[in-house]
Amino acid sequence: MQKNTTEDTEAHGGMAGLLHSDLRVPLRPLRFFPGITLMGLTITLLIPSACSLKKIAVRQATGFFAESRKVFEQETDLEIAETSIASNLKLLEAMQVHDENNDNLNLLIAEIYSAYTLSFAEDKMEQAEADKKDGEVERQRKRAKMLYLRARDFAGKVLLPLLDTQDLSSMTEQELQKRLAKLDKDDIAPVFWYAFAWGSAINVDREDTQGLSDLPKIEIMMAQVKAWNEAYYFAGAWLFEGVYFGARNEMMGGDPVRSKAAFEKNLKLTEGKLLITQYFYARTYCIFAQDKVCFDKNIAAVLDAPADVHPGQKLANALAKKKAERLKRRKADFFIE
């Protein structure tokens, strides 16, 4: 099995300029890819040739996709981004068929499916909620959950063998902790992406009682990510914790104090340059705590930020601004006067 080292993480993602270079934390940016056809790769995959030749082509193309991500990270037209990312996801899956045990490719697909679902599928669900179209809300909710589970399963192709299991749901929390303890920081990517996608799937379907019962396991996995590197992927584990404890009332396991502290930690580590954090801060903690000052402050932070607050992540921040603008218009729906 291929080993994903910290050096691999930095080479294929790195900080992408989010934080000052002197902080030297191995963050990986959201990867969006250009709408390339890779004609040579397609022809190679279609020709009934030796498996080794196809694997070589796939692995070279995987590197090309990773290196080309900057084109889309700087895209600001959301329609172009959505269409192109979706088409390239299917190309990545076609590549994976010919190299099923390619850890880097499986994790890449998991990452892109997660980013696509958060950015576009969930956004459609939120728009339907704003339009009060219940049928469309439910359709988009089911779609988002399906896509997150697809992302989880691609990450699982790397993580589950490392944990010597085929199903984390059947594993006790104590056993999960024990097996995670046998891994090291080089395994941070599969742990993070499995937990992120799994947790996101549960978050969009809070009526799934089985899913809710698995949340403590996801919390354990994210705690391990923080122990290895709390700044990994834009301090994503801290963002997850903020949403995890901020999107539920205390009777359902929410913890507003812990949620607020997690969001503040994420903002400190990212210098507030990835605006989706402030959006989720407002969308979860501020609303459940009925803190209007907090809500207004975080929404303003997103909307008032310059478009190039992080030049390498213009697309991600454009998406955050779109979400924040819609949430601002719906403020009266969430606060008791």
**Higher-scoring residue by pLDDT: 314, 11:** 314
pLDDT of residue 49: 52
Average confidence score pLDDT of the chain: 84
Model confidence pLDDT, tens digit, residues 4-42: 443 443 333 333 333 333 333 333 433 333 443 444 555
How confident is the model over 47-52, as a mean pLDDT? 55
CA distance 189 to 194: 8
Q: How confident is the model at residue 207 (pLDDT cuts 50, 70, 90)?
A: confident
Q: How confident is the model at residue 241 (pLDDT cuts 50, 70, 90)?
A: very high
pLDDT at 181 over 50: yes
Could you check whether 103-228 and 230-337 share the same CATH topology? yes
Q: Where are the domains of the chain?
A: 31-98, 103-228, 230-337
CATH of 230-337, one of 3.40.640.10, 1.10.760.10, 1.25.40.920, 3.40.50.620: 1.25.40.920
Task: Provide the CATH topology of domain 103-228.
Answer: 1.25.40
